[in-house]
Amino acid sequence: MDPSMLPIECWNLIADKLSSHDLSLVIRASKLFSTVFGPYLYRCIDLSVHEIPSSATEQDEGPLSPCPPNLLDRQHAFTRSVLHYKPEYALWVRSFTWTMCLQRTHALDPAPEQELDSVIQLFSKMDRVLSVDIDGGDFHCYPPKPIPPLFPAACHIRLSGQMHYGLASAILHGPEKMSLKSLTICNLHELGHTRSGQNYQKPPIRSFYQWGLAAWDESDAEPIEEDWAAESLPKQVPPGPMRRVLNKQLASRCSSLESLTLCQVSMEMLQTYGLLPPGWYYPGPELHEEWATFIQAVRPCHLRIQYDDVSTAIRSGLKAMWRKNTCRGSLPYHREFTRKLLPLLKEGWPELRRLELTYWLIAEMEMLNLVVRDETVALLARDKEVELSLAPWTYYHRGFGTFDWEERNEYLPQQTI
C-alpha cells in the first residue's frame, strides 16, 4: 500500500493507536512507511532506570553494576544508529529520558571517558527535544573535551544523580535556548576534583552509586580546598551537592516558569550521625541561599521543595546501614530551610498558585510545626489563593524521642490548607 493514498491526518490517527512494537514492524515494510511512522516511533525515547523503585534494583547493587545489561545494549544500539546510520532519528525525538550508564572494569579505567564522548555527541544531535530528563547515574566521569550547549529547544528539564558540572551547565545554560516551562533539580551531585577537566589519580570514594553514598575507604579521604571563582567553571570543588547551576543565566531562561521542583537528600543528617563519606561537603547555607535567590528571581506558579532521605536512593550502599540506625532527638536539617526559605515563602509572590513541601515525618513533626502551624503561611494560602500541600515521608514512631528508620513504602494523606 502506498502511504500517499491516505491523507496525513488518517496516518496520525492510525499511529496513535499502534504500540511501539507494531510501529517498528510497520516501518520495516517499506521506506515510505518508515518516513511516515518513524517520527511516531522515536518521538518518546526512554532509556533509563532512575525512576524504577529501589526494591526492583536491589539485586543489581554493586560498584560495577550501575545499569541492567539489557539497558546498556539498548543505549548502545540507539547511539550507534544515530551517530553512524540514521542521524534523522535524533530530530524525531521530542521526549528524551536517559540514565548515564557508563561501563567500567576498574576505578581508573579510561573507557568511561571515551563512552561519555559518544553520549555527548548523541545529545548534541537532539536539537528538537522538548522534554529532557537526564540522570547522571552512579559514576562521575569527566568530559574528554568542552561540551557545547545541549538541548536548545527543551522547555521541560529534569536533572538528577551525579554528573560533571560542565554537562549540567551545557544542558541548562547557553545562548539562544527556549524558555523553560518546568525545571526539576533532584539530588544533583558531583564528586569534585575537577582540575581543568582532568582525571584525578586517587578518587575520594571508591564505589560509586547514584549519589556517591556507598562503600568508602578512609585511606581515600583527601581534603579539598575549593577553587571556584564566581561566574566561572569550577577547577576544584569538594564532592557533594552541585551548586551554581541556578544562576542568573538560567534565571533569564525561566521568565515564564510554570513549575519548579528542588529536591535534595539531607547530607546534613548524614553528617550529624557520622554517615557522610570522608571528604564530602554539605554546603547547607550556600545551597539554600542559592535556592532562595533563584526562587525569588523566577517566581514560579507551582513550587515544590522536597527533602529526601537515603532510603529513597536507588542502589544506595548506605541503605541497609541506614535502616539499622536509631536516631534520637531533634535533627538540624530544617535550620537552613527556616533561615533561608521560610521567610521567602511567608512573603509569597503574585504568580504563586501551588506550594508543595515534601519532608520527613520525624523529630516531633518539626517541619509540620514550622509550616502548617505557621499563621503567616496559612494566611498566604487563604488570602492569595495558594494551595499549600504537605506530603511527609512516613516512618514508624516507637517511643518518645526515638525513631526507627523503617520504611513503610507509603505516604500519609496529603494535607491541604
* Residue range 64-92: mean pLDDT, rounded: 82
**What pLDDT does 356 receive?**
86
Mind listing the pLDDT tens digit for each residue in 132-164? 999 987 666 677 678 899 999 999 999 998 888
Give the pLDDT band (50/70/90) at residue 242: confident
* Residue range 178-204: mean pLDDT, rounded: 69
**What pLDDT does 391 receive?**
62
**What pLDDT does 50 receive?**
73
Max avg pLDDT among 6-20, 177-191, 358-372: 177-191
Does the predicted TM-score (pTM) go above 0.85?
no
Give the pLDDT band (50/70/90) at residue 333: low
pLDDT of 49 above 50: yes
* Residue range 99-124: mean pLDDT, rounded: 70
**What pLDDT does 53 receive?**
45
Average pLDDT score, the chain: 69
**What pLDDT does 207 receive?**
35
* Residue range 190-219: mean pLDDT, rounded: 44
Contact (Cβ atoms closer than 8 angstroms) between residue 88 and residue 42: no
* Residue range 378-393: mean pLDDT, rounded: 63
Q: Which residue has the higher pLDDT, 183 or 351?
A: 183
